[in-house]
């Protein structure tokens, strides 16, 4: 497998280390627990051989998948990483139609080339393969925080380029993906305090059970559709078979030969 080396990659992606540190905070840990639960519920029903995760931090969410070969790429050229290899998400160093499932953990939220990333995921997926996307929901308190947070381009995780579910669904349809499931989560206020998270998340269980579309994150499960193949059949024109016409005289002679006794009776004395 041809993997891009660290020297071939661009400079450190903005906010990668900051996001890793943020996931260790009370709010980040709370969100990570919710994301693991949603992702595990989706991956448990997807089977195959190869699973690829593309993420935004030093995190792996594919542990509970039943697939035999699970690995992950990151675009951060760190000396030590929990990921399998270093590679840009917008230029996946894998052959086309070689992966059964691609997991995007906030990879779209922090990508500078969102269209290209989706095209790469589509390219490496086999026909009928699965795409799982975890992203921040712009139509939520978390999305509002991302828009209004002062200095949002410098502080994590509030420097994301959020995609609405409707827009993302349109992009997936253009790539011939069929959206199978959409789950929401993280209904508490995005406050970095364990006590405030617990207080504001009193409706978490009820809202999650009803799958309210106001959750801070969404988890989408889509499937790459298989184009139907219609075999091209050549038309075979049946040649007309000419009818066999037996002359009347020939018929009479055949009958005469078949009845020699009758002939003898007619020629007798």
Whether residue 260 is contained in a domain is answered as no
- Does the pLDDT value for residue 131 go beyond 50? yes
Is residue 253 situated within a structural domain? no
Look at the block and give the residue holding tokens 């009370």: 26
For the chain, give the percent of residues with pLDDT over 90. 52
Give me the pLDDT at residue 240, please.
Answer: 59
Q: What's the domain count of the chain?
A: 1
Cα-flanking dihedrals φ and ψ of residue 249, to 5°? -65, -40
Sign of CA dihedral 157, 43, 129, 227: negative
Q: Would residue 267 count as lying in a domain?
A: no
Residue 184, strand partner residues? 218
Question: What CATH number does the domain containing 219 carry?
Answer: 3.40.50.150
Q: Is the pLDDT of residue 11 over 60?
A: no
Please, which pLDDT band fits residue 15 given cuts at 50, 70 and 90? Answer: confident
Mean pLDDT for the chain? 82
Tokens of 97: 């139609």
Does 241 have pLDDT greater than 50? yes
User: How far separated are the first and last CA of the chain, in Å rounded?
Assistant: 106
Residue 62 lies in a domain: yes
**pLDDT of 123 above 50:** yes
Task: Specify if 247 maps to a domain.
Answer: no
CA distances (Å), 136 to each of 128, 171, 200, 236, 264, in order?
Answer: 26, 17, 18, 58, 109
DSSP string, 55-115: -SSS----TT---SEEEEEES---SS-SSSEE--TTS--S-TT-EEEEEEESTTTT-S-HH
Residue 43 lies in a domain: yes
pLDDT tens digits, one per residue of 169-188: 999 999 999 999 999 999 99
Instruction: Identify the band that residue 251 occupies on the pLDDT scale cut at 50, 70 and 90.
Output: low
Find the mean pLDDT for residues 73-98: 83
Residue 248 in any domain: the answer is no
Residue 151 confidence (pLDDT) above 60: no
Which has the higher per-residue pLDDT, 226 or 108? Answer: 108
Residue 2 has a pLDDT of 41
- Greatest mean pLDDT range, 12-26, 202-216, 254-268: 202-216
**Cβ-contact 3, 71 below 8 angstroms:** no
Residue-range definition of the domain harbouring residue 153: 6-224
Identify the CA nearest to 76 among candidates 37, 31, 21: 21
The predicted structure's pLDDT at residue 239: 52
Q: Is residue 256 part of a domain?
A: no
Predicted confidence (pLDDT) per residue in 185-221, tens digit: 999 999 888 888 888 888 888 898 899 999 999 999 9
- In this prediction, residue 147 has a pLDDT band, given cuts at 50, 70 and 90, of confident
The residues with which 263 forms a beta bridge, in sequence order, are none
Is residue 269 over pLDDT 50?
Answer: no
Contact 15/55 with Cβ under 8 angstroms? no
Res 1 pLDDT > 50: no
């Amino acid at each position: 497998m041809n993997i891009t080396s660290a020297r071939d990659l661009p400079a450190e992606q903005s906010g990668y280390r900051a996001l890793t540190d943020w996931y260790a905070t009370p709010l980040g840990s709370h969100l990570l627990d919710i994301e693991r639960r949603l992702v595990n519920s989706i991956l448990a029903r997807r089977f195959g051989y190869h699973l690829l995760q593309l993420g935004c931090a030093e995190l792996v969410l594919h542990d509970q998948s039943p697939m035999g070969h699970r690995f992950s790429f990151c675009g951060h050229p760190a000396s030590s990483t929990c990921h399998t290899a270093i590679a840009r998400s917008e230029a996946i160093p894998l052959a086309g139609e070689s992966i059964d499932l691609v997991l995007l953990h906030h990879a779209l939220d922090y990508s500078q080339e969102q269209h290209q990333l989706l095209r790469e995921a589509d390219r490496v997926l086999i026909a009928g393969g699965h795409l799982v996307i975890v992203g921040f929901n712009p139509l939520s308190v978390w999305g509002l925080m991302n828009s209004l947070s002062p200095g949002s381009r410098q502080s994590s995780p509030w420097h994301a380029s959020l995609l609405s579910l409707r827009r993302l669904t349109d992009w997936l349809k253009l790539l011939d993906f069929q959206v199978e499931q959409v789950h929401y989560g993280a209904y508490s206020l995005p406050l970095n305090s364990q006590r405030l998270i617990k207080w504001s998340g009193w409706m978490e269980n009820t809202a999650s059970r009803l799958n309210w579309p106001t959750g801070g994150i969404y988890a989408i499960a889509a499937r790459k559709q298989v184009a139907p193949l219609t075999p091209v059949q050549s038309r075979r024109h049946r040649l007309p078979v000419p009818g066999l016409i037996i002359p009347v005289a020939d018929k009479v002679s055949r009958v005469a030969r078949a009845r020699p006794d009758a002939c003898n009776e007619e020629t007798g004395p």
